[in-house]
Chains A and B, each alone.
Chain A
């Protein structure tokens, strides 16, 4: 026993030694050697594509005279070493991250450029939000804020969005390299291929396909799978891609993002702006919850009130802080100042500030939840300190969406069936999603017909192309995603605080090679956080290009004053 303890402490001590040995990032001085750099990515086992891409870029960075370590760790740990290690002394990592492979996934509400434009780079979300790279540019902040309130004039907003893209591309805050062409495979022997809807930036796995897809046989079951986690079935939690698919089907929304990426009324019959701060929403008549109760305006109002609910607490320093009960949705409701119920079916939202994205990122984002179910739960949560809406799992989730709950086994499967009383009843009867972390199993099932809709594929895209070529009943669909893969630089610290250095790294990313060899052609080159899928928001002048060229990168460094020592190691200006 004592020996074991001793041994464990020896391991711990060794580990501590290793940590101490890693020199923390120091501030630069002229002629000093650029210290060794750590580039993070997930492990090869978890996402081979991201690992191989990073490996390739790291090799190229070494050719610039840098000493680079490729640190591949599991996703959960990566979050810890990136997201929670932004600045010195934060988190458990021994130093702030420097550079990492990262990816943003396409979600319908990201069809409006606001979310990426604002959240990825606005200085206010630098410490805890999505701006983990630490970009801080007052000029850019002004742009991001201006596009947000530019409600009336869409073209003026486009100019702002274009300018924002220019600034980010010039400053090389993130080195974008691809938008994935999300490959999806559908068994067209059992579904009519013409009934499959491709949503801009999302692909065929979208709400419109779920309700519109036509089965051509008597078995009206759509069977799909996910390789990631299916760990919640909760209208007040954003748990990930797979759970989001399920909540958007089970709970209706006032508006929905249509296939070309624009919010249109859905559960609302009309959405009328009285002025930039007031909007009147009228619900469709005759909608019911899955438990038979009528959907009314006070439910709609409560859906937003629940997202706004929370308690204000004072911390040790006497600072007051607000703790929302639905932290995932609170940001999307935060702009609502007042909700007034006009009659059973209509209500008026009053905003704090005008917002161009309110329809997309609020009305089309928040799930409508039944007040009679959630009010008691939220009231109870307000009394408690130790839980919020994230930790709630209803016995039988009740929504008003076109699909209703049948069964849910955490991280095993979700089974939904068509809600007969819905005004847009789906053409399929049953919708089933299995959790299949094993890709071999996924392939086996789609070929054998045990599954008929493959929407998520983290593996080698070439395999899907082969499978489709071999099986007549399978069709491959692919669409440019709103999401993107990129390398994020921690711009707070040297050497990544230097624009020229970042631009040089961008030159060292072999974009086309990655697309051809790692993605098997199933990716589109990326140069911005606004995807080519969002055609309207890409009507800009050409953004600066960073062609792949090691010589170009070296030349850029040289002109910025960098030099190399006799061993070829890069020196600061």
Chain B
């Protein structure tokens, strides 16, 4: 790596940190607008003024705003997101630590499936360009992008879970099995877990496959026009070989970047799917926390999702500049 690239990465990194800091500040301000106070989680017959004060003190809400902000920032640096209102004796981190792996499994499995199908589909669409099949295929893909994910989830649920009773309808597994999972590894080794993952993964992948497919298709069409592809054709290589070996390899790069970005955005967008399938992840926790007025938890979940997005954006930027030789570091900095 040359020095320019290192400087570029460093600069990008610092920028990401700045962006994160601004987001965190906005988050802090946003949550001061919250409609209910933390006492709402405590209905009690015997509350005295002092007890109310004690609870406010416990959550640091009695201090001036500026001081609260400083404390908040320092705690964030230690990844200390505070105590939840509604889960007795648990910190926000305890809850999120349990949620994060589930969200990641769901996101990764659906993205991998979506990109595998999408890339192959994109190549096929490019190969079939102009045919009726391509029109049908592209229209179907557009439909999957246009259908609300939760609705597709509902239909799949009705069909596979309620009518055919083939697949479980919600959660990550019955508790009677789950309590034996002491580590994440136990969970991943359990067929029960994977069975529960099928429907949500499939629903998500159905939505997600559209982007790589359309992207791959247009990149392929573009690459197929290039001289070196024409050269390979003239050299007598089979159409299949031209497609896969020459064109697809070059068309893949932007798709990879999109995948990196996709990880970040899917984690933020999974909320609805996690709700439909009662999947115990970050999104479901966020929705529940907001409904319960558990603001530290909502804020924490929001922060976590933002952190992942900013990080993935950073990685995507780097990938973009490294993988795409046409865009030098300086040019890249100018374009975005």
Chains A and B in contact, CB within 8 Å:
yes
A: which residues have CB within 8 A of B?
Answer: 1, 4-5, 8, 12, 15, 46, 74-77, 79-81, 83-84, 91-92, 119, 125, 128-130, 221, 223, 229, 231-232, 234, 237, 239, 313, 315, 321-324, 327-328, 330-331, 385-388, 390-393, 406-407, 409-413, 415, 430, 432, 434, 436-438, 440-441, 444-445, 448, 450
Interface stretch, picked from B29-37, B208-216, B308-316, is B29-37
Those 7 A-B pairs whose CB atoms lie nearest each other, nearest first? A76-B293, A393-B89, A413-B175, A232-B88, A80-B36, A441-B170, A407-B179
Contact of A80 with B280 in the complex, beta carbons under 8 Å: no
Q: Determine which of B22, B44, B86 lies in contact with A327 in the assembled complex, contact meaning CB atoms within 8 Å.
A: B44
Contact of B90 with A410 in the complex, beta carbons under 8 Å: yes
Contact of A80 with B48 in the complex, beta carbons under 8 Å: no
Contact of B174 with A79 in the complex, beta carbons under 8 Å: no
Is B244 interfacial (CB 8 A cutoff)? Answer: no
Contact of B293 with A77 in the complex, beta carbons under 8 Å: yes
Contact of B278 with A441 in the complex, beta carbons under 8 Å: yes
Contact of B179 with A440 in the complex, beta carbons under 8 Å: no
Contact of A440 with B157 in the complex, beta carbons under 8 Å: yes
Contact of A128 with B54 in the complex, beta carbons under 8 Å: no
Contact of A79 with B48 in the complex, beta carbons under 8 Å: no
- Given known pairs A4-B26, A315-B50, A391-B88, the reply for A328 and B44 (CB within 8 Å) is yes
Is B335 interfacial (CB 8 A cutoff)? Answer: no
- Given known pairs A8-B29, A229-B86, the reply for A438 and B45 (CB within 8 Å) is no
How far, in Å, is A573 (CB) from chain B's closest CB?
36
Contact of A74 with B170 in the complex, beta carbons under 8 Å: no
Interface stretch, picked from B104-112, B113-121, B161-169, B227-235, is B161-169
Contact of A409 with B54 in the complex, beta carbons under 8 Å: no
User: What is the bound-complex CA distance between A79 and B291, given in angstroms?
Assistant: 12
A to B contact number (C-beta, < 8 Å) = 157
Contact of A92 with B175 in the complex, beta carbons under 8 Å: no
How far, in Å, is A300 (CB) from chain B's closest CB?
23
Q: How large is the interface on B (under 10, 10 to 19, 20 to 34, 35 or more residues)?
A: 35 or more
- Given known pairs A128-B45, A129-B46, A393-B89, the reply for A8 and B37 (CB within 8 Å) is no
Contact of A74 with B293 in the complex, beta carbons under 8 Å: yes
Q: Can you list 17 A-B pairs with a CB-CB distance of less than 8 A?
A: A5-B29, A77-B35, A80-B293, A84-B40, A92-B37, A128-B45, A128-B46, A129-B45, A229-B292, A385-B54, A386-B54, A392-B89, A409-B98, A410-B95, A415-B175, A440-B169, A441-B170
User: What is the bound-complex CA distance between A407 and B50, given in angstroms?
Assistant: 35
Q: Determine which of A79, A393, A438 lies in contact with B36 in the assembled complex, contact meaning CB atoms within 8 Å.
A: A79
Is B178 interfacial (CB 8 A cutoff)? Answer: yes
User: What is the bound-complex CA distance between A4 and B26, given in angstroms?
Assistant: 9
Residue numbers in B under 8 Å from A119 (CB-CB) = 45
Contact of A77 with B46 in the complex, beta carbons under 8 Å: no
User: What is the bound-complex CA distance between A229 and B47, given in angstroms?
Assistant: 22
Q: Determine which of B35, B40, B48, B83 lies in contact with A128 in the assembled complex, contact meaning CB atoms within 8 Å.
A: B48
How far, in Å, is A182 (CB) from chain B's closest CB?
21
Contact of B170 with A76 in the complex, beta carbons under 8 Å: no
User: What is the bound-complex CA distance between A127 and B90, given in angstroms?
Assistant: 30
Is B58 interfacial (CB 8 A cutoff)? Answer: yes
- Given known pairs A8-B26, A441-B170, the reply for A448 and B86 (CB within 8 Å) is no
Residue numbers in A under 8 Å from B33 (CB-CB) = 8, 12, 15
Question: What are the interface flags for B4-44 relative to A under an 8 Å C-beta threshold, 1 for contact and 0 otherwise?
Answer: 00000000000000000010001001100101110111011
